[in-house]
Amino acid sequence: MLTLEQIETAILQLSPNDFNQLLEWFLDLDYQRWDEQLKSDIAAGKLDNLAQEALTEFEAGHYRAI
């Protein structure tokens, strides 16, 4: 397995096109992981208080149209 230093060195040697492709792939991976974490947090009820607070504020008329 490559070390982080080896990966960094290899990235610095990429052509601009290859770097952009890697960046797009990496961002997609990051977004997928974030989505999975969010789904997990929702399923575990970690956002229930935040959701309830938002609903309470909305029902009290504390919102604005966007």
Residue 10: predicted pLDDT: 98
Confidence class of residue 37 from pLDDT cuts 50, 70 and 90?
very high
Q: What angle do CA 32, 14, 12 make, to 5 degrees?
A: 90
pLDDT digits (tens, 9 = 90+) for 3-36: 999 999 999 999 999 999 999 999 999 999 999 9
> Which region, left, alpha or beta, applies to residue 45 given φ > 0 means left and ψ of -120 to 50 means alpha?
left
Residue 14: predicted pLDDT: 99
